[in-house]
Structure 1
Amino acid sequence: MSKTTLIKYGHFKWIDIVKPDEESIKKLKKEYDFHELDLEDCLSENQRSKIDEYEDYLFIVLHFPHYDKRRKRIVTEEIDCFIGQDYIITLHEGQLKAIVEVVDQCQKNKTFLKENLEKGSGYFLYVIIRELFDDCFTLIDGMEKTIVEMENDLFEGDAEKDMVRDILWLKKDVIRFNLIIAPQRAVIAQLEHKNKKFLPPNLEVYFDDVVDKIEKIWSNLERLKEMTESLKDANEILISHQTNQVIKTLTVFSVVLLPLTVITGFYGMNVSLPKANHEWVVWGITLSMVGLVSGMLAFFKWKRWI
């Protein structure tokens, strides 16, 4: 069900719509002269990140990563923004914690409300975008912590094969994160060249700050990609080493048992053999086999094959 929050300061207002539906879009259409395609985009899923510039407003579509606790995966969350002379309208699904926190701050902290809304729609857009990108660093820190924990588990001797799926999912999350952030770089870079009525020149330094944040996020994601690759390679090496150890052990057993098989097979033939009827033959053969096995094992140990 759609939920609309109205926050006002002087002549400026922020309308935040969570889970927009056709009814809430109709109200926007009635109150504002937005293009029909923009309103349709607000109800569509998986829109591309973009900026559409009109005489009276800007329409911006941005995407941000969100950690889905139920699925335990990184997913894409969209936020649509209408920016006018004295208003900002945001539409999203309510999963972006940064937006929820900004709404909460505006409702509970009058100082925050005054400092951020009195400077106009362009500056408040910067505040929203800044908080959304700051939240990305929290996700990155969580993913890095997960990688470190998996590395510790890996080198402490836990079952390597059980980690393969987790490592691959983690690698997929990093790639998805990267794909989400990549288009935002171009969109944010375009903001300072858009309608100066909404984004005056003095805001360029603020949006440059956001661009710097995106570059840092990008750099951190590249580092996470390298860490997951290293983790994957280390896991494969340990699995290969473990497999080689098993094969080596089985080979030693096969080599040790081979002469014993020959001896027992020889004396198991249904023919007369010299000294076969003497009672000490069994003990002699047994001692010979024990000595042979002991000698072979000692030789393998000396060669460091076992």
Structure 2
Amino acid sequence: MNFLNPLSKNGKNQDSEDKKSSTQTQRYNNITWVDIENPNRKEINHLIKDYPFHPLHLEACLSKGQLPQIEREEHYLFLLLHVPSYNTTENKISTDQVCIFLGKNYLVTVHEDSASGIREFFNICREDKKQRNAYFKKSPGYLLYNVLDNLIKDLSTLLQTISQELDEIEDVVFDDKVSGVYKIGQLRHKIIRLRRIIGFSRRIFEDLVPSTKDFTGDNLSDYYENLTRTINKLWETIEEARETVEIYKDADFIMSTEKTNEILAILTIIFTLAIPATVLGTFYGMNILLPGGIEVGAWTFLGPYTTLILVLTGSTLPVLLMLGYFKYKNWF
């Protein structure tokens, strides 16, 4: 399955009404799988006629921003999950919503086309008889397990790309000639989004084992416990990635601050060394009588450049003294 699904040409999701809705159904071994892509009101109304679904659950399929949930009704189990979608244009991860209805002899999946992994798996089962027999051989609960397993594999693949980006950004962070602020910010956004998705999924999967058994009659605890273990490992991976990127953020900030301090130190030293000459030139450039000033004629006891030599000496001597003191204090 492939979660790397480019969005619209401008890199943004189109509105639901602009997308073409598609409903496909396949039946095998007394199991019906209905897959609805880009649901609209018309498609949802068809579900009302064919299945005993609660109106609130059907409304959740059309609305956005719903929190992940698992609810057990008398005749079916309702799941609402979040899955990631990678926008290759903007290099960002967005969150898509997947609604699932599990009954004793049916499975209904409702999702946007950006969650393309579900439709790809649906087509594999429809076109490959061997695969269809393998996935439909037990119960809708077993079919649901395989759907979720493919979603987790997509999530795992995305986490691998995050790990690769962490390795790449490490070289940028510790290179004092390159700033990694923007790349770190992008990576933090991806990790935060994935962490939220995985965190919700952990709680949902923990409740799946007893619920699926009630509606399908199969003991699929080993399968769903395997999903739970996998999602917990992904959680540990994303937590490690979050801690790593925070370390990189702090390291980049420290190195940027150190570079700024070095620049300020150099500018401060230059300014400090220029103070004696500035003060001397300011005082003796005034049109008033000052101690040591020349009232009549010119100083020539050191030749025609006596005045210049004295001014340079008076300016340079304090500079040398300050440089010696700075060196003694190990300021540079």
TM-score by length of 2: 0.82
Note if 1:273 corresponds to 2:268: no
Equivalent positions of 1:49-88 (< 5 A) are 49-88=68-107
Which residue in the other structure is 1:205 paired with? 222
Which residue in the other structure is 2:199 paired with? 182
Which residue in the other structure is 1:128 paired with? 147
1-structure distance, mates of 2:170, 2:202:
31
CA drift at 1:15? 1.4
Note if 1:15 corresponds to 2:15: no
Gaps of 5+ in 2: 1-19
Partner-residue secondary structure (3-state), 1:198: helix
Which residue in the other structure is 1:215 paired with? 232
Cα pair distance change 1:105/1:126, threshold 3 Å: same
1:193-250: CA deviations, max 9, x gaps?
2253534453000000010011011101110110111011001101110111011101
1:263 to 270, 276, 280: 280
More helix by proportion, 1 or 2? 1
Q: Is the 8 A contact 1:7 1:107 kept in 2?
A: yes
Note if 1:305 corresponds to 2:331: yes
Cα pair distance change 1:185/1:134, threshold 3 Å: same
Note if 1:167 corresponds to 2:181: no
CA drift at 1:291? 6.5
Q: How many residues align?
A: 304
Q: Is the 8 A contact 2:198 2:235 kept in 1?
A: yes
CA drift at 1:71? 4.0
2-structure distance, mates of 1:89, 1:291:
88
Note if 1:225 corresponds to 2:250: no
1:284 to 309, 313, 324: 309
2-structure distance, mates of 1:52, 1:66:
25
TM-score by length of 1: 0.89
Amino acid at match of 2:201: Q
Partner-residue secondary structure (3-state), 1:55: coil
Which residue in the other structure is 1:137 paired with? 156
CA drift at 1:102? 1.0
Amino acid at match of 1:281: T
2-structure distance, mates of 1:300, 1:225:
42
1-structure distance, mates of 2:174, 2:280:
44
Runs of 4+ in structure 1 displaced over 6 angstroms?
none
Amino acid at match of 1:280: Y
Calculate percent identity across the aligned residue pairs.
Answer: 32
Q: Is the 8 A contact 1:192 1:201 kept in 2?
A: no
Note if 1:118 corresponds to 2:137: yes
Amino acid at match of 1:246: I
2-structure distance, mates of 1:201, 1:158:
60
Select between 166-175 and 75-84 the one with higher mean Cα deviation.
Answer: 166-175
Select between 65-74 and 33-42 the one with higher mean Cα deviation.
Answer: 65-74
2:251 to 230, 234, 244: 234
CA drift at 1:140? 1.4
2-structure distance, mates of 1:248, 1:276:
41
Q: Is the 8 A contact 1:53 1:195 kept in 2?
A: no
CA drift at 1:125? 0.3
1-structure distance, mates of 2:212, 2:173:
53
Give the root-mean-square deviation of aligned CA atoms. 2.4
1-structure distance, mates of 2:239, 2:139:
36
Note if 1:5 corresponds to 2:24: yes
Select between 267-276 and 94-103 the one with higher mean Cα deviation.
Answer: 267-276
Gaps of 5+ in 1: none
Equivalent positions of 1:147-158 (< 5 A) are 147-158=166-177
